[in-house]
């Protein structure tokens, strides 16, 4: 802190010195005739000749003092160019003012293009103007700020220091631009609907609440765009879209931010199949135009770091149970610690899958050293079971790293896979999943598929039933005894007050075991009707609705529906969802439906998640300029 304060005082002293000479370093305006990076690029291609006169402006990002001459780098949004200042050319007064420049200052420069002895495109300065004096020094890691707390909380520093970050947000802007272009080209009308709503509808989520002083009543920040869009379908706007903010007063994670950007689009006289084509065409068009490719490469930084940490923990555990305090094994633990830290992605340009491969080699080396010591001296510290468990943990860490050795690529090339929700469930949970009883589904989910449903009392009962059934199997007991275990489970479940609905158990199988595996684009169709109350029932299976979830990179990118336009059926569904609380029912929306809404297909796409997928980012905070953080 003292160093920073000292640097600030030095900069303030320079400011006073400039002002004493009649130089005011906070200008109102400067008009460059070309961008800094643009001037460099055009000089290199020959569009601008040597000695051509240019004016550029930007922030100083490098500063080299050579005595009677100085070099600085000036950067703007187009890129950077080197500036050369010579005392003989500027004169004593201007050169003295030039020596008062610091990293981070903004300057406007006029001069002629030339190449240095090292062939670097540069501008030989003839005149300059200090546009803004930076009173604080740039972050310590000027060329690559790494502190994530500072990066998110002071995003402006992140943008200054990290060129890759600036590129990400430029590409996000391009993605949103191309989305608009896509829908306009198909005759869609862009609309704007209320952010503050009297009744938050269109999704099951906890809203943020506010108070409208002029109207004297509470309002909610919208949780979805949907219900106002359907009012517009009623009003005769047949093809519409909106890109806007939604707000949900719920959890934070690497995939969730309480304030997020949503695209919704509706097409009258279409259905869910219409919207599948729309989503596939939209995403492939945007990817091709912004990225120039339909094959998206993803770094798996967070996964590799986690696997490397598990490797180090496992090696330490092995050392402890094999021969704690042994100098050779202590040296191994220290070696693994140093190597895993060195292998952390981001320390150099090596891709994360290459780091994972080196982690596998380190795991094998560690296992060989530990096994050799064990066979030579025998166990010293732990029991046989302890040693077995420790080596199992080491094997698990190695297997995790082996899975991460392959580069992760998402192939967006058409045509995308389409598969029914129930078929995916049957593949993972058993072909008879939808024929067995509710109790059997619970039992299988917990005891065979190892799914934590989050209800502690329920989980205890189901796990005890699993233990009873395993005991029956070990004794060779027959089908009658197994049925008795399940019947006892059924009676116990009747006494449990808090437990998931049957469709939620199936949903947990999908979310935990299936969705994370859907890396390449997959349309999962015909979801359970309980999950989507605003969609039409499937004609061939009334337990499902005409809905798809487009899953890419192991998460939902876009849901799409054949929208419910029967006002009587819609009222029944929403009344059930409201649980008898009339104040939660959007009566105006239901009245609008009674005026007649055409059949329609609708989609929603989370812009933030779409950008994460297309730009290879692992956290939603890396594609939001100012993510939600707790105030300091």
State whether 497 and 590 are in the same domain.
Answer: no
- Out of 487, 502, 517, a domain closes at 502
Contact 239, 266 (CB under 8 A): yes
Which CB contacts under 8 angstroms, 24+ apart, belong to 628-632? 628/252, 628/257, 628/258, 628/259, 629/152, 629/153, 632/153
Contact 605, 242 (CB under 8 A): no
- Supply the range of the domain harboring residue 352: 301-409
pLDDT: which is higher, 2 or 217: 217
State whether 118 and 182 are in the same domain.
Answer: no
State whether 290 and 305 are in the same domain.
Answer: no
Residue pLDDT, tens place only, 617-628? 989 999 999 998
The answer as to whether 570 is a domain residue is yes
The answer as to whether 508 is a domain residue is no
* pTM metric for this prediction: 0.84
State whether 251 and 346 are in the same domain.
Answer: no
> What is the DSSP pairing of strand 121-132 with strand 79-86?
parallel
Which of 75-84, 131-140, 590-599 is predicted with the least confidence, judged by mean pLDDT?
131-140
Stretch 128-141: mean pLDDT, rounded?
A: 88
Give the phi and the psi of residue 296 in degrees, each rounded to 5: -100, 120
The answer as to whether 224 is a domain residue is yes
- Out of 409, 430, 448, a domain closes at 409
**Which pLDDT value is given to residue 328?**
87
pLDDT: which is higher, 43 or 371: 43
Which of 267-276, 427-436, 438-447, 460-469 is predicted with the least confidence, judged by mean pLDDT?
460-469
Range 424-460 burial, b when 16+ CB lie within 10 A, else e: bbeeebbeebeeeeebbbbbbbbbeeebebeeeebbe
Contact 35, 76 (CB under 8 A): yes
pLDDT: which is higher, 299 or 152: 152
State whether 19 and 114 are in the same domain.
Answer: yes
Q: Indicate the number of domains in the chain.
A: 4
State whether 265 and 338 are in the same domain.
Answer: no
State whether 187 and 227 are in the same domain.
Answer: yes
What is d(CA 163, CA 495) in angstroms, rounded to the nearest whole number?
59
* Token representation of residue 489: 């489970």
Domain CATH for 338: 1.20.120
Which of 239-253, 370-384, 565-579 is predicted with the least confidence, judged by mean pLDDT?
370-384
The answer as to whether 219 is a domain residue is yes
pLDDT surpasses 60 at 594: yes
pLDDT: which is higher, 333 or 625: 625
The answer as to whether 278 is a domain residue is yes
Which of 416-420, 493-497, 623-627 is predicted with the least confidence, judged by mean pLDDT?
493-497
Tokens 């919704």, residue located: 264
Domain CATH for 279: 3.30.930.10
What is d(CA 14, CA 585) in angstroms, rounded to the nearest whole number?
64
Stretch 410-423: mean pLDDT, rounded?
A: 97
- Out of 107, 132, 157, a domain closes at 132
Neighbours of 325 (CB within 10 A): 10
State whether 305 and 397 are in the same domain.
Answer: yes
DSSP code per residue over 54-107: EEEEEEEEEEEE-SSEEEEEEEETTEEEEEEEEHHHH-HHHHHHHTT--TT-EE
- Axis crossing angle, helix 163-185 with helix 272-291, rounded to the nearest 10: 140
The answer as to whether 232 is a domain residue is yes
Stretch 371-398: mean pLDDT, rounded?
A: 80
DSSP 8-state class, residue 256: B
State whether 116 and 6 are in the same domain.
Answer: yes
What is d(CA 622, CA 619) in angstroms, rounded to the nearest whole number?
6
Contact 419, 550 (CB under 8 A): no
Rounded to the nearest integer, the mean pLDDT of the chain is 89
The answer as to whether 139 is a domain residue is no
Using 50, 70 and 90 to split pLDDT, how confident is the model at 209? very high
**Which pLDDT value is given to residue 1?**
44
State whether 312 and 277 are in the same domain.
Answer: no
State whether 19 and 126 are in the same domain.
Answer: yes
Name residue 127's beta-bridge partners: 110
Tokens 């500027």, residue located: 90
The answer as to whether 524 is a domain residue is no
State whether 390 and 428 are in the same domain.
Answer: no
């Amino acid at each position: 802190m003292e160093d920073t304060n000292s640097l600030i005082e030095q900069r303030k002293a320079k400011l006073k010195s400039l002002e004493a000479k009649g130089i005011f370093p906070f200008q109102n305006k400067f008009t460059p005739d070309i961008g800094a990076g643009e001037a460099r690029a055009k000089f290199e291609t020959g569009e601008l000749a040597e000695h051509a006169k240019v004016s550029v402006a930007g922030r100083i990002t490098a500063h080299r003092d050579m005595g009677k001459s100085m070099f600085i780098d000036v950067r703007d949004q187009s890129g950077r160019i080197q500036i050369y200042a010579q005392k003989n050319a500027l004169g004593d007064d201007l050169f003295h003012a030039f020596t008062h420049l610091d990293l981070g200052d903004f300057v406007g420069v006029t001069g002629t293009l030339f190449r240095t002895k090292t062939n670097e495109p540069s501008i030989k300065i003839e005149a300059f103007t200090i546009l803004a004096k930076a009173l604080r020094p740039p972050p310590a890691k000027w060329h690559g700020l790494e502190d994530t707390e500072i990066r998110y909380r002071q995003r402006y520093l992140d943008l200054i220091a990290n060129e890759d970050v600036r590129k990400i947000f430029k590409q996000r802007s391009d993605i949103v631009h191309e989305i608009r272009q896509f829908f306009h080209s198909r005759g869609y009308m862009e609309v704007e609907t209320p952010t503050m709503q009297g009744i938050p509808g269109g999704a099951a989520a906890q809203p943020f609440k506010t108070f409208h002083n002029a109207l004297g009543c509470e309002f909610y920040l919208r949780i979805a765009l949907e219900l106002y869009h359907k009012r517009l379908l009623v009003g005769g706007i047949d093809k519409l879209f909106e890109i806007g903010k939604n707000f949900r007063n719920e959890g934070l994670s690497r995939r969730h931010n309480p304030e997020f950007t949503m695209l919704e689009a509706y097409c009258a006289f279409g259905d869910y199949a219409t919207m599948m084509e729309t989503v596939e065409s939209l995403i492939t068009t945007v990817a091709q135009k912004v990225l120039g490719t339909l094959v998206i490469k993803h770094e798996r930084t967070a996964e590799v770091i986690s696997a490397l940490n598990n490797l180090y923990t496992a090696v330490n555990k092995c050392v402890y149970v094999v021969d704690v305090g042994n100098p050779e094994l202590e040296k191994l633990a220290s070696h693994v610690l140093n190597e895993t830290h060195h292998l952390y992605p981001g320390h150099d340009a090596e891709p994360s899958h290459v780091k994972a491969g080196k982690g596998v080699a380190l795991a094998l080396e560690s296992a060989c050293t530990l096994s050799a010591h064990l066979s030579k001296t025998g166990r010293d510290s732990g029991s046989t079971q302890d040693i077995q468990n420790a080596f199992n943990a080491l094997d698990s860490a190695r297997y995790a790293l082996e899975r991460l050795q392959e580069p992760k690529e998402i192939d967006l090339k058409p045509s995308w896979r389409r598969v029914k929700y129930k078929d995916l469930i049957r593949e993972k949970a058993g072909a008879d999943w939808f024929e067995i009883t509710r109790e059997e589904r619970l039992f299988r989910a917990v005891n065979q598929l190892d799914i934590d449903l989050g209800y502690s009392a329920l989980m205890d009962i189901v796990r005890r039933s699993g233990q009873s059934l395993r005991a029956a199997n070990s004794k060779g007991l027959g089908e009658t005894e197994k049925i008795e275990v399940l019947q006892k489970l059924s009676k116990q479940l009747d006494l449990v007050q808090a437990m998931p609905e049957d469709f939620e158990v199936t949903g947990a199988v999908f979310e935990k075991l299936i969705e994370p595996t859907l890396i390449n684009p997959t349309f999962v169709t015909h979801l359970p009707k309980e999950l989507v109350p605003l969609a039409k029932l499937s004609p061939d299976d009334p337990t499902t609705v005409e809905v798809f979830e487009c899953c890419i990179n192991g998460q939902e990118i876009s849901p799409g529906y054949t929208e419910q336009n029967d006002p009587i059926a819609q009222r029944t569904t929403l009344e059930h969802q409201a649980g008898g609380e009339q104040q939660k029912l959007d009566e105006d929306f239901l009245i609008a439906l009674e005026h007649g809404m055409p059949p329609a297909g609708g989609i929603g796409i989370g812009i933030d998640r779409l950008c994460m997928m297309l730009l290879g980012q692992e956290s939603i905070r890396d594609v939001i300029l100012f993510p939600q953080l707790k105030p300091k």
